[in-house]
Amino acid sequence: MRRFALIAVPYLWLLALFLVPFLIVLKISLSDIALSIPPYAPTLDLSAGWEGVRSFFAGLDFENFVFLTQDDLYWKAYLSSVWIAAVSTVITLLVGYPIAYGMARAAPEWRPTLLMLVILPFWTSFLIRVYSWMGILANEGFLNMVLGWFGIPPLQILATNTAVYIGIVYTYLPFMILPIYATLERMDESLLEAAEDLGCSRLTAFWLVTFPLSRGGVIAGCFLVFIPAIGEFVIPSLLGGSDTLMIGKVLWEEFFSNRDWPVASAVAIVLLLILIVPIVLFQRNEQKQREAA
């Protein structure tokens, strides 16, 4: 009995925090918009008994999903989100790998401090950090002020996709650094000496030994950046411009500006379906990592 209770805890957790909200959103996505509170129909009327349940289910349909295929805003937003997330992931990898490498090669007594520095930004609010990027990138912002000192004309960065890339790379960098650092730190340094002993230069030893051995960390880091970046909403709406198209922003507008909960829910359900593929791949990679260790 006790064992059962113990096993039940995570399942109850999943049920309460994932399955129930998911079912609610799924239900709303199958509903119709209505001028009422809540702003959709039908609602389940249990006082009407069996008849009420029947009319409730009769009121559900896939209209909203069909609508998503008719307006090309949606598929363009999905595609653009995937593209922006993919590009940001590549940039984050290019920035994060050298940092993780440097940390893993640093003297052991320095490593905890360096690790701390990577995690430190999490101690301030995400929103505040994004706002400070607005201050840095704005037309009269800090960056352009510094450029002005050197006589360089001001750059228009805020309200462009460039600002979105900067914001995503900055925000998700620790998620890239930490898994890569973990694999690099675990690596036996005598492997590099063995590679050198067998005729490798430092650089070839890196490509033939270090990089392949850190692949698990690279894959994990890429997914940890890519998956949340697809649905990112705050960064594109604060740093991006009117032409920055990301599905998170579309969803927010559908929900709050248009007050169309059913379509917003349909957008969310499709987003979830899109994310399932990389999430499953990520889990597989983690599984493989554990088996290899």
Partner 1 sequence: MTTAPADRPRPGPAVFAPWDEPDAVPLIQFKNVTKRFGDFTAIDDLTLDIYTREFFALLGPSGCGKTTMMRMLAGFETPTEGKILLSGQDIAPIPPNQRAVNMMFQSYALFPHLSVWENIAFGLKREGKDKDTIRARVDEMLRLTRLEKFASRKPHQISGGQRQRVALARSLAKAPKLLLLDEPLGALDKKLREETQFELMDIQEKTGTTFVIVTHDQEEAMTVASRVAVMDEGKLIQVATPPVIYEQPNSVYVADFIGDVTIFEGTVRKDGEHYRLDWAEGQPPLRVRSPASLRDGQTAYVAIRPEKVEIHHNRPDDHNVLRGKVVDIGYLGNLSTYHVELPGGRMIRAQNFNTERDTRQPFTWEDEVWVNWTETCGVLLER
31/43 Cα distance (integer angstroms) = 9
Size of the site for partner 1 (CB under 8 A): 18
- The only residue of 190, 257, 273, 290 in contact with partner 1, by rule CB under 8 A: 190
61/83 Cα distance (integer angstroms) = 31
Q: Which of 115, 240, 252, 228 is nearest to 167 (CA)?
A: 240
Q: How far is the CB of 191 from partner 1 (least distance, A)?
A: 5
Q: How far is the CB of 201 from partner 1 (least distance, A)?
A: 6
- The only residue of 199, 242, 257, 290 in contact with partner 1, by rule CB under 8 A: 199
182 contacts partner 1 (rule: CB under 8 A)? no
**DSSP characters for 234-287?**
HHHHHHS-TT---HHHHHHIIIIIS--HHHHHHHHHHHHHHHHHHHHHHHHHHH
Contact window for partner 1 (CB under 8 A) among 100-108, 113-121, 158-166, 188-196: 188-196
105 contacts partner 1 (rule: CB under 8 A)? no
CA 263 to chain centre: 22
- The only residue of 201, 258, 283, 287 in contact with partner 1, by rule CB under 8 A: 201
191 contacts partner 1 (rule: CB under 8 A)? yes
* Segments in 71-187 forming alpha helices (H): 72-105, 111-119, 126-137, 142-149, 161-186
Q: Is 41 helix (H, G, I), strand (E, B) or coil?
A: strand
212 contacts partner 1 (rule: CB under 8 A)? yes
Q: How far is the CB of 93 from partner 1 (least distance, A)?
A: 19
213 contacts partner 1 (rule: CB under 8 A)? yes
- The only residue of 69, 113, 156, 204 in contact with partner 1, by rule CB under 8 A: 204
Q: Which residues contact 76 (CB under 8 A, 6 or more apart)?
A: 245
Q: Applying CB under 8 A, which residues contact partner 1?
A: 188, 190-191, 193-201, 204, 208-209, 212-213, 292
